[in-house]
Amino acid sequence: MKLLRKSFQSQGSQAMEKIFYPNSIVIIGLSSRSDNLSRMILENLLIWGYRGKIFGVNPKRDEPYVEGIKMYKTVEDLPEVPDLAVCLIPARFVPEQVELCGKFGIKRMAIPSGGFSEFSEEGRQISELIRLNARKYSLRFVGPNGLTVANRENGLCLPFVPLSPPPLGEVSVIAQSGGLGMTIWDGFIDENLGLAKFVSVGNKLDLDEVDFLEYFGQDPATKIILMYLEDIQRGNDLIEVAKNIDKPIIVLKSNTTPIGSKAAMSHTAALSNDDEIVDAAFKKVGIIRIYNFHDFIAMAKAFKLPPLKGKRIVVISQSGGFTVTAADLCFQAGFDFADLGEEFYQNLYQYSKAGVIKFSNPLDLGDVYDPGFTSHILFSVLHNENTDGAFYIRHWPNMPDSDNLISEMLHKDFSKETWGTILSSGKPIGICLLGAPHIITQIKKNANFPIFNGPEEMVRAMAAQRDFYRQKTTPTASPGVLPDNLDQPAAQNWIAEHPGIRGEEALNLLSIYGIPVIDSLLAQNEDQAIEQAGKIGYPVVMKVASLDALHKSEVQGVIANIKNAKEVREAFLTIKRNLFNFKPEARFEGVRIQKMASEGYDMFIGGKYDRSFGAVVYFGLGGVYVEVFKDFDLALCPATPAEIEIKLKKLKSYALLSGARGKTAVNISSYIDSIMRISYLLYHFPQIKELDVNPFRILSDGSGGVALDARIRIE
């Protein structure tokens, strides 16, 4: 029986196919002992209904079979080369088994064993030996230190924990923690969700989350992808893969605090990422980031519904309190309240019992006592051309059995009509049902659509669904043609000649990439300073030039509005004296003389090289308080002008640039262009590890902007 599907086209996907669809498996370390963990893997395969060939290997046991599976002393004794080897033995013996599997021709392995780089230097050495042995034979593997893989479609289940099969579905899970990953699929059971595939990547010694994300992105059985990650080592690759996937990717990224990082180092040898960079990267390609475990389930539910193609919604409930609560949540999530039209509301009054509630959106049905009326309302709302979707919050009270209008109304089952309305309209209804858990659980099992556990998670999940489809259907601007005046050879030469930390001289590098910079000259004594100031033209600004005073304001190393030679001489001596008062052994290179810039708004442009996501450009409010107000945003490099402008307009400081308190708005095009050019500079030259341009002054007269100061670190 062939269990291997028709292969995908990409080479990476073909590498995965036999891990999830092997026709034959060998379990290394299998024995009949009750405490043998490999035996748990075998039992899972049998319980889940795996139909391929299974072999057992254990060089230390003399058993003819285990659970009916024939045993062998070594993989070399097997009658055929299996598609997949599962190796759950002590860490120190794993490299030898990888070598034997590779020699025998096995190309795929799952290694759940722990005790590698997460524990000791010896473990790291064993890890490296496994990697080398695998590469020698072009053998790909998942693990170690993880529960490896499961495929609900064909009964493959390799975790060493006894597991009952979850419902078959369209959600696949990638988890850096096996225990957390299994908890996710346990959550499917009572929520009308099902599992397609699962992988616990462990230490990611070979295959990692990027490889599995690419595979799930092309897997026809997978419609929704959930990911739990503690670190991201190949951030750029992750973003490139995600960019080409049109399925929702929902990620919980932990290890965002020093304590979390410490715990992660002992768990899966994780290294933390800059969380703001992770956020920006995810948003760029439409990855949905969540911040609590329960949102895995909520988000998966939202994507089981039709797409919410706009912001116009209707909030409906029998309780005025729920309509008010949900309305607040919807407003905060950026929804608009649809206008259903006066005729729609007038028609509702014929069902009103006391006439004490005025119908509007949000729609309070507390004065309607017709049990069948709700399904009529939902149908009418979703088929109204002015709506994109609806939210319905309902309480299912625990009431004694009795035959009365209230019980009939509050316990009315209209699930069939609701599902029909969803299908016929092609629009989503987010339904939140509140009541005794055992009652709600049973209702969920009988429904064809997802039911949310609270208004907060419902609105949050549906807003994420709305934003996902909007981003996927909006054309994205590509970097396109390089900006003009980017002299890459000249920049390369400058960078090669200026290693280490540099100050204002970095302005010369910026000018090579077409960024406007202030004219400046370096003076090493008072007389030279007077001469340079005369060349530039008064008034001038004088700044200390010292590698020990990169934050010049801290050493009182800046004097502005100097109007004549006498003031130049005095300023030079004052700046030099202030430096040595701050640090007696400081290196004094001189004083930089700059033309006094026109008035304007001081912004900043910064950059850094992230070990995972590469070059990142920052921009926002500048000046001496840049680290106090922290009014900034960032973008992966290279950034487009459109992307920069959208982010810039969300900053608080943009109110200043757009003309706050009656002042004239300034021209931000030069600032946006300079941010873009610096993003290319950082992208082209990863040797630049840090860059600060502060301030970049946007001139009040509308003539553009100019970089006034900079510092850089090159490695």
What value does the mean pLDDT take over residues 498-505? 89
Would you state the structure tokens that stand for residue 453, as one six-digit string? 């556990």
- pLDDT tens profile 195-231: 999 999 999 999 999 999 999 999 999 999 999 999 8
CB 306 within 8 A of CB 427: yes
3-state secondary structure of 422: helix
- pLDDT value of position 415: 75
Q: Where do we find the tokens 């600032």?
A: 671
- pLDDT value of position 269: 35
pLDDT exceeds 60 at position 273:
no
Its pTM stands at: 0.88
Name the CATH code of domain 313-472 (choices 3.40.50.261, 3.40.50.2300, 3.40.50.300, 1.10.357.10). Answer: 3.40.50.261
Q: Residue 4 has what DSSP assignment? A: P
Q: Residue 517 has what DSSP assignment? A: B
Q: CA 164 to CA 354: how far, in whole Å?
A: 53
Q: What is the DSSP string of 467-481?
A: HHHHHHTSPPPP--S
CB 394 within 8 A of CB 413: no
| Topology alike, domains 11-301 and 313-472 | yes
CB 139 within 8 A of CB 102: yes
- pLDDT value of position 178: 86
Would you state the structure tokens that stand for residue 460, as one six-digit string? 């949050």
Q: Which residue has the higher pLDDT, 413 or 330?
A: 330
Q: CA 405 to CA 410: how far, in whole Å?
A: 9
Domain ranges of the chain: 11-301, 313-472, 519-595, 600-714
- pLDDT value of position 349: 77
- pLDDT value of position 478: 64
pLDDT exceeds 70 at position 480:
no
125-129, 293-297, 547-551: the lowest-pLDDT one: 547-551
- pLDDT value of position 5: 43
- pLDDT value of position 669: 94
Q: Residue 352 has what DSSP assignment? A: B
- pLDDT tens profile 573-590: 999 999 999 999 998 989
Q: CA 289 to CA 280: how far, in whole Å?
A: 10
pLDDT band at 179 (very low <50, low <70, confident <90, very high): confident
Name the CATH code of domain 11-301 (choices 1.10.730.10, 2.40.240.10, 3.40.50.261, 3.30.420.140). Answer: 3.40.50.261
- Residues 6 or more apart whose CB falls under 8 angstroms from that of 136 comprise 99, 102
Q: Where do we find the tokens 């610096």?
A: 678
- pLDDT value of position 271: 37
CB 405 within 8 A of CB 397: no
Percent of the chain at pLDDT > 90 equals 65
- pLDDT tens profile 311-323: 999 999 888 888 9
519-595 is classed CATH 3.30.1490.20: yes
Name the CATH code of domain 600-714 (choices 3.40.640.10, 2.60.40.10, 1.10.1740.10, 3.30.470.20). Answer: 3.30.470.20
- pLDDT value of position 658: 87
3-state secondary structure of 296: helix
